[in-house]
A and B are shown apart, each in its own frame.
Chain A
Amino acid sequence: MLKYVLKRVGMALLTLLIITFLLFVLVRIMPGNPFPSERMSDEQIANKRAEMGLDDPILVQFGRYMAGVLQGDFGKGTSLYYGAPIKTVLSTAISNSFRIGGIAILVGTLAGLALGITAALNRGRFMDGFCTVFSILGVCVPSYVFLIFLQYNFAFRIPFFPYFFDPNRFLFSTVMPSLSLSLFTMSTIARFTRNEMVEVFDSDYVRLAESKGLYGRKLVLRHVLRNALIPIVTVLAPLVVDLLTGALVVEKIYGINGIGKLMVDAIAGEGIDYNYVLALGILYSTLYIGVMLLVDLLYGVLDPRIRVSAKAEEG
């Protein structure tokens, strides 16, 4: 098993290196300028480029950049927050996005599972229909529309929650964006859980378990849930990444200094900020690859078929 894990981790790191290189090259090919060029003369720009080493061969630049990254130094902004180390700016953004996204994932997953399981257990009855309608609505309504609805009702009409994000009232400010972000996850998980469970309920092995004398909670816990959960893990993974990396529009509307907002600012500001785009790109990729890796390993825990074939691969 250890060898299997190491192999997967090694592959993940290699993938990350390749992605970083591609990003690095792509950013430099992109049309536009890394500086607020309208305010600078050609000479200034040339000086600046030389200072940042942008005229060196690409591999040299990449080597220099990676040397920094490996020491945890992502450089400084070239146009955005000029002069402040990216690490500092990024860590605030990450902590904001992760907290709001994390709560959204937690709430969305748990509520989605609960809803899906209830629907599957009451197949064909009211709760089942309710779950279907709810999940279709949840998938269709964009999270920011729901946020605006919440803002209007619970911040404007009934001023209970803050209208905009307020770091000093962190817990209170989290409720509305987290809730609106969790809606999509909740609906997706609910629908998926419901369908998977219904399918497992119809399976031959559940019939066998029933013919053994299992029923009710024991049947669901021992034979249905685990088998139904395996595919749900796959759906959950990309949802997690999407939420953690910040929902662009929601962050913008609610005034949260998160990763999503940072990304937009880095691209749409005066000049494309090479270092911010890169740092955020690396962050996205790391998260994605990391979560996928986690899913792979989790699969091994949940599904003995994968665990054993991994063992066979080792042997």
Chain B
Amino acid sequence: MSEEMKTILDIKNLDISFRTNAGTVHAIRGVNLNLCKGETVAIVGESGSGKSVTMKAAMGLLDANATINSGEILYTYTNTSGEEVTVDLLKMSKKEMRQHINGKRIAMVFQDPMTSLDPTMTIGRQIMESMFLHKKMSREAAKARALELLQLVGIPDAEKRFKNYPHQLSGGMRQRVVIAIALSADPNVLICDEPTTALDVTIQAKILELIMDIQKKMGLSVIYITHDLGVVAKVADYVDVMYAGKIVEVGNVNEIFFEPKHPYTWGLLSAMPDLDTDEERLYSIPGSPPNLLHEPKGDAFTARNRFALAIDEKAEPPMFQVSRTHFAATWLLHPDAPKVEMPPELKTMLERARKEAEKYL
């Protein structure tokens, strides 16, 4: 992780709202996010915090009732003549997105493998489709490549599976097929939207390892959308914690797990089950996320924050820099703020986790 790291996807000040029957929902309120070549970034947050919407915007898959109020998503790639080009994905039409970006350069793995494959088409054809679209491959070449991909994602008996329909495969196998589809046109960015949430635990680790393995082999940059901190710890280089349409804390994985600064991140980490917890009950963050139909006043987390300061109700905190890579949006980091430490229970838990981790290093 040094200067040679090139930014491949740069989301700047993204602001999106949705028109609904109840009114305008301001779902994304100024998101900044940065993905470098070969890196893995995880976006963490509760349901409805805007993780998926942010990434859908980068795929040109936003629903018709979404309005992009401001911001840009800069994507940098090397074009066919070897030049480096940077484009704003938000300025591209749907057609341009489909022709030049989707599948070809940025691909996506969806949450539910049970519903994300077309039930009436063999998996072989579904894998080959992108190759025909983006690479103008011949049938034979595409088939050979598809079989290769099936083997790469760990599907035994690829030749036979090639002719299968989705319903003939188990959930784990289907997710492997979805991954194979995403990889079929050699993208350089892979967006995984909760790729293991719908799978059972024994398969989860296998799928994650598979994605990491492929990432290394193909030099992919990967964005994970997840609410599972276990997944984050396993795969991520950098973590973006998202709350109510904003990134509230960002840092590398060690900073987020061992020196979190934002009370929301504290809450998330405390809610993670731990084998040594003495408490009878698992901690959960009180309350629920704000309804973004109404613009939150001050810091959106105030109502659920037991460390809230008076200023939290009045003004939204800016991003305070903690280290070169670590930022958090909480007034607690202001030089004038009272010194508040993370809860002692969390501190001992993280200490324990760190020792545990060191054993394996």
- Residues in chain A within 8 A of chain B (CB atoms): 123-124, 203-205, 207-216, 222-223, 226-227, 230, 302-305, 308
Chain B nearest CB: distance from A119 CB in Å? Answer: 15
Q: Mark B110-128, 1 if CB is under 8 A from A, else 0.
A: 1010011111111000000
Query: Is B167 in contact with chain A by the CB < 8 A criterion?
Result: yes
| Total number of B residues with any Cβ neighbor in A under 8 Å | 35
For B95, what are the chain A residues with a Cβ–Cβ distance below 8 Å? Answer: 215-216
Determine the residue in chain B with the shortest Cβ distance to A216.
Answer: B95
Residue in chain A with minimal CB distance to B117: A205
Q: Which of A207, A211, A212, A227 contacts B120 (CB 8 A)?
A: A227
Q: Knowing A216-B95, A304-B165 touch, does A226 contact B133 (C-beta < 8 A)? A: no
* Contact (Cβ within 8 A) B130 A212: yes
Known: A204-B110, A207-B110, A305-B167. A212 touches B181 (CB 8 A): yes
**Chain B 58-101 near chain A by CB (<8 Å), digits 1 or 0:** 01010010000000000000000000000000000011001101
Contact, CB under 8 Å: B165 / A209: no
Contact at A304–B116, with CB atoms within 8 Å? Answer: no
**Within the complex, what minimum Cβ distance (angstroms) separates B109 from chain A?**
9
Q: List 21 A-B contacts (CB under 8 A).
A: A208-B181, A210-B61, A210-B102, A211-B103, A212-B107, A212-B129, A212-B181, A212-B185, A213-B98, A213-B130, A213-B134, A214-B98, A222-B121, A223-B121, A226-B120, A230-B120, A303-B120, A304-B119, A304-B120, A304-B165, A305-B165
Known contacts A207-B110, A211-B103, A213-B103; is A305 also within 8 Å of B133 by CB? no
Complex contacts, A215 vs chain B, CB 8 Å: 94-95, 98-99
Among residues of B, the one whose C-beta sits closest to the C-beta of A225 is: B120
Q: How far is the CA of A171 from the CA of B110 in the complex (A)?
A: 55
Give the chain B neighbours of A303 by CB distance below 8 A: 119-120
Contacts of A227 in B (CB 8 A): 118-120
Asked whether any CB of chain A lies closer than 8 Å to the CB of B242, the reply is: no
- Structural contact, A213 and B168, CB atoms closer than 8 A: no
Q: Is B173 in contact with chain A by the CB < 8 A criterion?
A: no
Q: Are A207 and B102 in contact (CB under 8 A)?
A: no
Q: Judge whether B118 and A209 touch: CB under 8 Å.
A: yes
Query: When chains A and B are docked, how far (Å) is the Cα of A240 from the Cα of B163?
Result: 35
Residues of B contacting A308 in the complex (Cβ-Cβ under 8 angstroms): 165, 167-168
CB of B116 within 8 A of CB of A208, answer yes
A214 CA / B99 CA spacing, docked (Å): 8
**B104: Cβ under 8 A from any A Cβ:** yes
* Whole-angstrom distance between the Cβ of A219 and the nearest chain B Cβ: 9
Chain B residues whose CB sits within 8 angstroms of the CB of A123 once the complex forms: 64
A124-B64, A222-B121, A305-B165 known; A210+B98 contact, CB < 8 A: yes
Output the least CB separation between A237 and chain B (Å): 20
Q: How far is the CB of B230 from chain A (nearest CB, A)?
A: 24
Which residues of chain B are within 8 angstroms of A209 by Cβ–Cβ distance? 118, 129
List, in ascending order, chain A residues with CB within 8 A of B99's CB.
213, 215
In the complex, given contacts A208-B178, A213-B102, A215-B99, what are 4 additional A-B residue pairs having Cβ atoms less than 8 angstroms apart?
A: A205-B116, A211-B107, A230-B120, A303-B119
Checking A208, A223, A226, A302 against B110 with a beta-carbon cut-off of 8 angstroms, the contacting residue is: A208
Q: Is A214 touching B118 in the complex (CB atoms < 8 A)?
A: no
Inter-chain CA distance A208–B61, complex, in Å, is: 10
For B125-142 the 0/1 string (1 means CB < 8 A from A) is 000011001100000000
Q: A208-B181, A213-B133, A214-B98 are in contact. Are A302 and B120 (CB under 8 A)?
A: yes
Q: Is the CB of B116 within 8 A of A204?
A: yes
The chain B residue sitting closest to A206, CB to CB, is B118
Shortest distance in angstroms between A122's beta carbon and chain B's nearest beta carbon? 12
Are A205 and B130 neighbours in the complex by a CB distance under 8 Å? no
Cβ of B108 under 8 Å from chain A? yes
CA distance A132 to B195 in the complex (A): 39
CB within 8 Å for A207 and B64 given contacts A215-B94, A215-B95, A305-B167: no
CB-CB under 8 A from B119, the residues of chain A are: 205, 227, 303-305
In the complex, A123 Cα to B63 Cα: how many Å?
13
How far in angstroms is the closest Cβ of chain A from B21? 13
Q: Is B133 within 8 A of A214, CB to CB?
A: yes
